[in-house]
Amino acid sequence: MKFNVPADVPAKRVALYKKNLKEATNGTNHLMLFAGDQKVEHLNNDFYGKDIPLEDNSPEHMFKIASKAKVGVFATQFGLISRYGRDYKNIPYLVKLNSKTNLVPYDEIDPYSEAWLSVDEIVNFKKESGLDIKGVGYTLYLGGANEHAMLSQAAKIVHEAHKNGMICVLWIYPKGKFVKDEHDAHLIAGAAGVGAALGADFIKLKVPYTKKGKFNAKLLQEVTMAAGRSGVLCEGGAKIDEKVFLQELYEQKSIGGSRGNGTGRNIHQREFKEAVKMANAIYAITCENATVKEALKLLK
């Protein structure tokens, strides 16, 4: 697999960039991102309640899963990595640099999420800790009064990551009172184009739906083309039936042209052994070219 190396990766960091990208994607340029940033984004709603195993309430549940399952990267906040990282050094990490809660409705106040730490601080942490940190991630919201600040910060984060041989994933979501349908394919394609303009390696986006709210992988084609050389990761969303989820994932890739996924709840909202199996099934489709039938066998 030939990897496209961004021109802002210095010559002395090209080998490291290729190594991080190759290892994170199993040499396929497709990324299976295990999303573990919801402790802030959704507070405790995703970790405690009906039909959620009690073990999911502990942050360590996600680390246990990521240490035993096949994942491209485990994306979570710096603080969690610093608290659990020494016990889980085998995990490939992606440090989520910013997060915000969902307490304030998006149509009340335009969302703004500033980075908690700099890329340089993550680079130093990687050196001091010896942890396998493949890259960084950042969320920005389009459509509000604060988008200019987040766009500027995102551009600098992507550039700083590349300067240090790291990959960068941008979560890009149009939000606010001017956004009527977050799952509109044309709008999501616009967000993908923004991610490409920012130089992201991968862009985590909403899944486009039809006007009737139905999944249709063909709608992704506009999105993935608009992303150019940046890979589109479809968000995992709320927990659904395993077979339905894996079928949609397969169609996102084979029909829509996505280059991966960012899945959280459909993995960690299961007891440990089942969560590991689900993560392996997702990885198989994403990075091992497995069929849905082959992936389902991994759940048995």
Between the alpha carbon of residue 206 and those of residues 235, 238, 296, the distances in Å are: 6, 12, 24
Residues recognised as catalytic? 173, 204
* Long-range CB contact pairs, 214-218, < 8 A, 24+: 215/248, 215/251, 217/248, 217/251, 217/252, 217/254, 217/255, 217/256, 218/255, 218/256
**What CA–CA distance (Å, rounded) separates 34 from 229?**
22
Tokens 């999105």 found at: 223
